[in-house]
Structure 1
Amino acid sequence: MKVLILHQHFNTPQKGGALRSYYLAKALVDQGIDTIVITGSNSTQQYVEQVDGIEVHYLPIAYENRFGFYKRSFSFLKYIFQSVSLAGKFKDIDVCYAISVPLTIGLAALWIRSRFGIRYIFEVGDLWPDAPIQIGVIKNYFFKQFLYSLERTIYQQADSVVALSPMIKDAIEKRAPGKKVHLIPNMADTDFYFPEIKDTRLEEKYSVQGKFVVSYIGAVGYANGLDYFLECARNAQKASLPIHFFLCGEGGMASRLQQSARKIQLNNFTFVPFTNRDGVRELMNITDASFICYKPLPVLETGSPNKYFDGLAAGKLIVVNFGGWIKEEIEQRGCGIYSDPKYPTDFTKKIQPYIYDAALLQQAQQKSRSLAEEKYSRKKLGKLFTGIFGEKI
């Protein structure tokens, strides 16, 4: 069997960033399935690499998190045309696996199906076009209706759809009644991240000896609402709590957040540039609580953020500032807390028991790791994923 994966933002462990598509491709390769990936890169030339048995084709299509709406849209459209053109050069492809975001990846899958007769499975990580509409990026009524129509068509023409969260699965089933929808969340790499005793050398390196460390590790974009994270740091500083905050990542809001931190004179906050997963694991070692932050929009409660699963695998207390299925899960499992975004002081109130009661913190952290192993381990979800392709043989 041969599978073609379309994902414009394919990352490798060496590069860093979200690794879901790498994990999925590796799971296929480990089952003896020939796997080709078409992705984009900031290179000026097209090139091919073999990555752990995965044949990865890089198209010269620039993209960065700091791009605005129109520049992103141009990059997305460019990927459609070039990926479809390249797909026609491969022979004996059995199934195309198209990974959104963005929704426009579905156009490439539809085109490949029409031109080359290759069936496709469509993965939905975020509900588009709901996300850009609720954020306010897309306002034109007719364009909204066009995108909703496109969304339904992509679902209906797919062999099946993969949803990354229960809420996304429910939404797709309502929009495409009768369509087979698989639930395969993001994965916790329990073989790479795991609970560790804090390394005193790292505590010294980051100047956090004797501190309770709260880290946000991920995208630094508008949707992440990280002004709230700064407000939590500000209130913790006012309350003289022994907490240090780390923000690690890249994105369009990074510079502004750094300026804001300097303006309000935070001395309990450190910005760490984007790093690969070895760098993330180093930061995770000194972290007590993993913070996951979004703006208060309903659509952002439906997602499946990588940082949640990394935090679980590393055995960290989880802190969220949004509702939805993750809030419900961490409260049910006793591995995290919800900090109300309407009240920045809510964080300082709810985190204090974990600062001053080591046994309580350890209990929550152990529950995080147990959840990762039981429900989200890379091996378990990889097996579930490859099983979808077994149905297609």
Structure 2
Amino acid sequence: MRVILLHQYYKTPEEGGGIRSWYLCRALTEAGHEVEVVTAWNKKEHKTLLIDGYPVHYLSVHYSNDLGFFRRIRSFTAFFIAAYKKVNSLSRPDFIYAISTPLSIGGLAKWIRWRKSIPYFFEVGDLWPDVPAQMGYLRNPLLIRILKSLELSIYKSAKGIVAMSPAMVDYFNDLGYGSKTTCVTNFSDLSLSSTPSHEREPTDRFTVAYVGTLGKANHLSYLIDLAEEAQKRGLKNFRCILMGEGAEEPLLKKMIAEKGLSNVSLLPHSSKEAAISVLKSASMAYLSFGPYDKLWTGSPNKYFDALAIGKPILCNFGGWIGDEITDKKCGVVYSPFNPQSFFDKHWPSLQTEDILESMGQNALTLAKGSYTLAKQIPKWLTFLCR
């Protein structure tokens, strides 16, 4: 089987960030299939690199989380054009595997199907255009209707849909596409447990660590609010770590300075290994989304990484993940609009080492029972080959 994988944000473990497509390509090659990746990077030239035995075609298309809406659209359009030209130059695949976001990736796969009769699978990580519309990036009703029509046409034309969460499966069932949809979440890679800790924290210090994008969607001012409340209460053992990069980084730095917070550390984006090291050193891993319930249907890799290393989770949103954390007793879900409630309700019990240890064990049990590569990848490969 020969596959061309389209993903504008393909990353390797050395680069850090979400490396789901790296896992998928590795799984295809280990299963004896041929795969090529078409992706983008911020360098000034196109280049093809051999990574783990398969070619990755890097196209010179600039993108970063701090781009405004129209510059993002320009980036998506540039990748659409460049990627189509690249696919045309490659040997014909059995199918295209297109990974969203953005929605234009699905549009590209649909265009290739129409022009070259190549079927495609579409993997959905976020619900577009629902998410940008709810966040206020899309306001024009006509444009929203046009994009919604495109979204539905992409689902209709796809050979199969890979939904990255149970909530998304419900969404596709409601649309009538349940028969060609499967759920393959992000992965809990148990080998991450061998990663050494970033630093040895004092035994009397309680550390909450967030590792990932510092974007509007993540609304990390919620974590700053927790740090501020802790400092007001004189809790000298409470510390927050934020590791990453994104559009909100300047705002977060400004908030930390203006509030005079000495209990927050802001670390730069780094490799996957470095990110896991920071998580391992913490008392709890922090999951954060803004008040946009469409985002809560997603499958953030930081959730599955925390489960893989048996780390208790502090979560500030609901949805299927919030429900699962509560049900499986692997962390705490609190209201970010009332940071006082976290310290009044949860802080005393979290000072007990047995509680954190129990939550961590429950997290690891959940990872092993549901989200390991050994459980998710065979299901994915079977779906592709059906």
Deviation at 1:349, TM superposition (A): 2.8
The amino acid that maps onto 1:203 is: R
Deviation at 1:326, TM superposition (A): 0.5
CA deviations 1:71-93 (Å, max 9, x no partner) are 11111111111111111122230
SS of the residue corresponding to residue 192 of structure 1 reads helix
Compared with structure 1, are the counterparts of its residues 282 and 81 closer, same or farther at alpha carbon in structure 2 (3 Å cutoff)?
A: same
CA deviations 1:227-270 (Å, max 9, x no partner) are 11100111112222311100111100001101101110111110
SS of the residue corresponding to residue 113 of structure 2 reads helix
**2:213 paired with 1:219:** yes
Give 1:31's aligned residue: 31
SS of the residue corresponding to residue 252 of structure 1 reads coil
**2:207 paired with 1:210:** no
In the alignment, the residues of structure 2 paired with residue 263 and residue 113 of structure 1 have an alpha-carbon distance, to the nearest angstrom, of 53
Q: Is the 8 A contact 2:195 2:277 kept in 1?
A: no
The amino acid that maps onto 1:136 is: G
In the alignment, the residues of structure 2 paired with residue 346 and residue 27 of structure 1 have an alpha-carbon distance, to the nearest angstrom, of 44
Give 2:224's aligned residue: 230
Deviation at 1:178, TM superposition (A): 5.5
**2:114 paired with 1:117:** no
Give 2:18's aligned residue: 18
Superposed CA RMSD in Å reads 1.5
**2:351 paired with 1:344:** no
Compared with structure 1, are the counterparts of its residues 247 and 350 closer, same or farther at alpha carbon in structure 2 (3 Å cutoff)?
A: farther
**2:142 paired with 1:148:** no
Q: Is the 8 A contact 1:339 1:350 kept in 2?
A: no
The amino acid that maps onto 1:211 is: R
Number of matched pairs:
385
Of 247, 267, 286, which residue of structure 2 is paired with 1:272?
267
Q: Is the 8 A contact 2:49 2:56 kept in 1?
A: yes
Identity of aligned residues (%): 36
Unaligned runs of 5+ in 2: none
Give 1:9's aligned residue: 9
SS of the residue corresponding to residue 285 of structure 1 reads helix
Q: Is the 8 A contact 1:195 1:314 kept in 2?
A: no
Unaligned runs of 5+ in 1: none
The amino acid that maps onto 1:69 is: F
The amino acid that maps onto 1:370 is: T
The amino acid that maps onto 2:224 is: L
The amino acid that maps onto 1:250 is: E
- Comparing 3-12 and 236-245, the one that deviates more: 236-245
* Equivalent residue runs for 1:172-321 within 5 Å: 172-177=172-177, 179-193=179-193, 202-203=199-200, 210-241=204-235, 242-321=237-316
In the alignment, the residues of structure 1 paired with residue 258 and residue 273 of structure 2 have an alpha-carbon distance, to the nearest angstrom, of 31
- TM-score normalized by structure 2? 0.96
SS of the residue corresponding to residue 133 of structure 2 reads helix
CA deviations 1:144-200 (Å, max 9, x no partner) are 10011001000000001010111111112223445511100111111123697x67x
In the alignment, the residues of structure 2 paired with residue 345 and residue 274 of structure 1 have an alpha-carbon distance, to the nearest angstrom, of 30
SS of the residue corresponding to residue 247 of structure 1 reads strand
Compared with structure 1, are the counterparts of its residues 251 and 261 closer, same or farther at alpha carbon in structure 2 (3 Å cutoff)?
A: same
Q: Is the 8 A contact 1:353 1:360 kept in 2?
A: no
In the alignment, the residues of structure 2 paired with residue 66 and residue 184 of structure 1 have an alpha-carbon distance, to the nearest angstrom, of 29
In the alignment, the residues of structure 2 paired with residue 380 and residue 50 of structure 1 have an alpha-carbon distance, to the nearest angstrom, of 28
The amino acid that maps onto 2:234 is: S
The amino acid that maps onto 1:253 is: E
Give 2:129's aligned residue: 129
In the alignment, the residues of structure 2 paired with residue 176 and residue 316 of structure 1 have an alpha-carbon distance, to the nearest angstrom, of 37
The amino acid that maps onto 2:49 is: E
The amino acid that maps onto 2:285 is: S
Give 2:44's aligned residue: 44
CA deviations 1:6-63 (Å, max 9, x no partner) are 0000000111110111111111111011010000011111111111122110000011
Q: Is the 8 A contact 1:193 1:310 kept in 2?
A: no
SS of the residue corresponding to residue 312 of structure 1 reads helix
In the alignment, the residues of structure 2 paired with residue 382 and residue 144 of structure 1 have an alpha-carbon distance, to the nearest angstrom, of 34
The amino acid that maps onto 2:272 is: R
SS of the residue corresponding to residue 104 of structure 1 reads helix
In the alignment, the residues of structure 1 paired with residue 258 and residue 134 of structure 2 have an alpha-carbon distance, to the nearest angstrom, of 30
- TM-score normalized by structure 1? 0.95
SS of the residue corresponding to residue 191 of structure 1 reads helix
Q: Is the 8 A contact 2:2 2:35 kept in 1?
A: yes
In the alignment, the residues of structure 2 paired with residue 354 and residue 162 of structure 1 have an alpha-carbon distance, to the nearest angstrom, of 39
CA deviations 1:334-386 (Å, max 9, x no partner) are 10111112211122234424442111110110111111111111222112111
In the alignment, the residues of structure 2 paired with residue 382 and residue 97 of structure 1 have an alpha-carbon distance, to the nearest angstrom, of 15
Give 2:361's aligned residue: 366
Of 347, 369, 379, which residue of structure 2 is paired with 1:384?
379
The amino acid that maps onto 1:382 is: I
Deviation at 1:389, TM superposition (A): 2.1
Deviation at 1:284, TM superposition (A): 1.9
In the alignment, the residues of structure 2 paired with residue 177 and residue 375 of structure 1 have an alpha-carbon distance, to the nearest angstrom, of 24
Of 326, 329, 334, which residue of structure 1 is paired with 2:329?
334
